[in-house]
A = this chain, B = another copy of it.
Amino acid sequence: MSLSDLGEFGLIERIIERLGEAAAHDILVPPGDDAAAWTHDVGATVATVDSLAEGTHWRRDTMSLADIGWRCAATSLSDLAAMGAEPGPLLIAAQLGPDVTLDDLDAFADGLAAACRCFGARIAGGNIARAASTSFSATAIGSTRDGSALLRRDAARPGDAVAVSGAPGAAGAGLTLIEAGRASEPAAVELVAAHRRPPARLALGRAAADSGLRCAIDVSDGLLQDLGHVAAASGVAIEIEAAALPLHPAALALLGGDRALALALGGGEDYELALCGPAATLDALGADAAASGLPPLTRIGRITAGPPGEVAALDGSGGRIDPASTGWDQLR
Residues of B near A1 (CB, < 8 A) are 102
Please tell me which stretch of A108-116, A149-157, A230-238 contacts chain B, meaning at least 4 of its Cβ atoms lie within 8 angstroms of it.
A108-116
One of B2, B45, B91, B100 near A49 (C-beta < 8 A): B91
Instruction: Determine whether the beta carbon of B27 is less than 8 Å from that of A89.
Output: yes
Residues of B near A18 (CB, < 8 A) are 106, 109-110, 113
Could you tell me which residues of chain A, from 33 to 63, have a CB within 8 Å of some CB in chain B? Answer: 35-36, 38, 40-42, 45, 47-51, 53-57
- 0/1 interface trace, chain A 121-132, chain B, CB 8 Å (1 if under): 111111111111
Instruction: Determine whether the beta carbon of A49 is less than 8 Å from that of B137.
Output: yes
Residues of B near A93 (CB, < 8 A) are 49-51, 93, 137, 139
A12 at the interface (CB under 8 A from B): yes
A37 (CB) vs chain B CBs: closest residue? B124
Per the bound structure, the CA–CA distance linking A153 and B47 in Å amounts to 26
Supposing A100-B3, A102-B3 touch, asked if A53 and B125 sit within 8 A by C-beta, the answer is no
A148 at the interface (CB under 8 A from B): no
Could you tell me which residues of chain A, from 116 to 171, have a CB within 8 Å of some CB in chain B? Answer: 116-117, 121-135, 137, 139, 141, 143
Interface size on A, residues (CB 8 A): 79
A31 (CB) vs chain B CBs: closest residue? B125
Supposing A92-B49, A122-B24 touch, asked if A109 and B40 sit within 8 A by C-beta, the answer is no
Per the bound structure, the CA–CA distance linking A129 and B54 in Å amounts to 11
Residues of B near A51 (CB, < 8 A) are 93-95, 127, 129, 131, 137
Supposing A3-B101, A45-B45, A122-B22 touch, asked if A129 and B57 sit within 8 A by C-beta, the answer is yes
A56 (CB) vs chain B CBs: closest residue? B130
Q: Tell me, rounded to whole Å, the shortest Cβ–Cβ distance linking A33 to chain B.
A: 8
A284 at the interface (CB under 8 A from B): no
Per the bound structure, the CA–CA distance linking A2 and B42 in Å amounts to 45
28 A-B residue pairings within 8 Å (CB atoms): A2-B102, A3-B96, A3-B102, A8-B129, A14-B106, A15-B109, A18-B109, A18-B113, A19-B116, A19-B123, A20-B113, A22-B123, A23-B123, A24-B123, A24-B124, A27-B89, A31-B125, A35-B125, A36-B125, A40-B42, A49-B125, A51-B95, A51-B137, A55-B131, A56-B129, A132-B132, A132-B133, A137-B137
